[in-house]
Chains A and B, each alone.
Chain A
Amino acid sequence: MSTDAVALIGFITLFALMLLRVPVGMAMGLIGVSGYAYLVGGGPALKLVGQTSMRTVTDYTFGVIPMFLLMGAFVSTSGVSRELFRAANTFVGHLRGGLGFATVAACGGFAAISGSSVATAATFSTVAYPEMRRFGYPQSFATGVIAAGGTLGAMLPPSTVLAVYGIITQQDIGKLFMAGILPGILAMSMYIATIVIIGLVKPDFLPSGPRASWDERLKGIRDVWAPLVLFLFVIGGLYGGLFTPTEAGGMGAGGAFVLGVLRGRLSRADIRHSLLQATRTAAAVFTVLIGALLFGYFLTVTQTPQKLTAFLTGLGLGRYGVLALIMVMYIVLGCLMDAMAMIILTVPIIFPVITELGFDPIWFGVIIVMTVELGLIHPPVGMNVFVIKSVVKDVSFATIFKGVLPFVVTDIIRLIILIAFPIIALWLPSQM
């Protein structure tokens, strides 16, 4: 059988296994090793399993993932989400749509610590939604703004998805984190602009809350200064070259623990819960990483990335045409699987095409994460929408998707802006 036929059968079987709910990492590992065994030999293939598994889990660089997960777990458990929302609300809650602004700002702040879109959406469904409803905000808007705000988690550092992209493509994780900052801030600004426009088009749609006194505002700042300083310290240290990404994660986790304990926000049960949460997520991510690396050997022997590159560049669409094609593929895939699975499955195949076309790998990381994040809120799957629905029981999927729609349009415009002006993503990493 030709290598092309083996590759084709491999991909079909892989998708079949994944659709039958075999864990993504295990399916990739199984197909990768079976295909490699068929083409190269059973002995070398089995050797790869032990070596690759052990090498992956004992790679110090990959420690960045559990460390930032632990930092996020400590900070989340110590109740910072509510305080961020309350603090933001004291400054903007009196404006038309002010609670929407506060939600976006607090989601950004929380995302900068947790690194997870879904965690951000889940958290603010319990924190911001009841408050918005209390002030008479429509269900569609309240859930839509939370779903959109949640997507900031994958863009603002420390983003787990960007870290995994960095590992797979062997790009500097520190630079990737920096590259996410300005696009993340752009996202927040554009979400706020969207809320302003909604407020102008439908003046009765978005009410305003009471104006907070300066005492209340100062109290709000006092509550959130510690996690914000921790974030600046960790990201500043990374930017200034004081820490490697793994060390930055360790400092963040250690710092979050010390702050949580000193401020009386972390009980023994909270510490245990945070450690368990970080462990579970890290184990799941590493399983997929091991599978992706094993699958990578199969891709190498079948030369699938090279053949795909030759095919796509031979279409005569030009580099931006090919990029558009790839992004459409990601948006379609976003209807089927979650962001992490998509990145791990497709990036090893797509990445050589991108470098061949002369696009910057760091910039592409930001673009691809933005595109898969769009998948978190667009129908019919939209993981953030499902998460919100699981927390907010009295709202229909149709209502949430209706509320998300203006933000989907905003995201598409933002994607176009970032493609037209790569400097927005690349300026900060270029200063490192």
Chain B
Amino acid sequence: MTGIPASLKPPPKSRKFRDRFIDSIELIAAFFVGIVAADIFISVLLRYFFSVQIPDAYDFGRLLLGILIFWGIAATSYRGTHITVDLVWSSASPRYKRLIDIFATLVLLFVVTVQTYTLFDKVKQTYADNVLTFDLNLPTWPFFAVAWIGDVSAVLLIAVRTWLLIVEPQVIEGEHPLRTVE
């Protein structure tokens, strides 16, 4: 038989689109990490060298932190790089590994869906209470809304991951064989 090995075949269009979509979500989160670091770095320098403060540097820092974390959770959930206990999984056969992964991802999907539902209430509440930033009196709900969209993305991506684990497990398997967080 002289076919091209599966690993060398170009990925189908749907997969390319999915990969680009996930990369974009990760890049959005990564961009916000950079912005938060720049916010803190510049505001500290201005404070010590010019006795000047960026208005709302503190509020911007914490609100952008919220955005980066929820968008980061979306990518982390899809990539399967959460902190897990792999003791049973690592000694299971490939079939049981897959079953464990499907179960774990379904639980993850349930938890993140509930979280997204309750976070929407929080966004609505912040809007209704007209919570403002300290210096510029900007409404904070748009920041919360952007963070919430990150959580919505997490639900979508976990659903995609669950689907792939069931019908196309080879796409997910072996993506991140070793990962740790600490």
Residues of A at under 8 Å CB distance from B?
17-27, 29-30, 33, 46-47, 49-51, 53-54, 57-60, 62-63, 66-67, 70, 116-118, 154, 160-161, 242-243, 246-247, 249-251, 253-255, 257, 272, 275-276, 278-288, 336-341, 381, 383, 386-387, 390
Contacts and interface: CB of A to CB of B under 8 A. Distances in A.
Nearest to A30: B111
Residue with the highest number of chain B CB atoms closer than 10 Å, among A30, A117, A287: A287
Interface in B40-81: 40-42, 44, 48, 58, 61-63, 65-66, 68-70, 72-73, 75-76, 79, 81
B76 A283 contact: yes
Interface residues of B, number: 63
Contact of A67 (B36, B107, B181): B36
B108 A118 contact: no
Interface in B85-101: 85-89, 100-101
Contacts of B85: 18-19, 21, 24, 336-337, 341
Contact of A254 (B38, B88, B114, B177): B38
A24 B88 CA distance: 14
B73 A287 contact: yes
A49 B29 contact: no
A281 B84 CA distance: 13
Contact of B36 (A21, A63, A251, A381): A63
B104 A57 contact: no
22 contacts: A20-B88, A20-B104, A21-B86, A21-B100, A26-B107, A53-B118, A53-B122, A57-B66, A57-B70, A59-B62, A63-B61, A242-B48, A254-B42, A275-B31, A278-B30, A279-B68, A280-B81, A282-B72, A283-B29, A283-B73, A288-B83, A340-B181
Contacts of B119: 49-50, 53-54
Contact of A54 (B101, B114, B147): B147
B88 A62 contact: no
Given A25-B83, A26-B111, A284-B76, A275 B30 contact: yes
Contact of B62 (A27, A60, A249, A386): A60
B40 A58 contact: no
B72 A21 contact: no
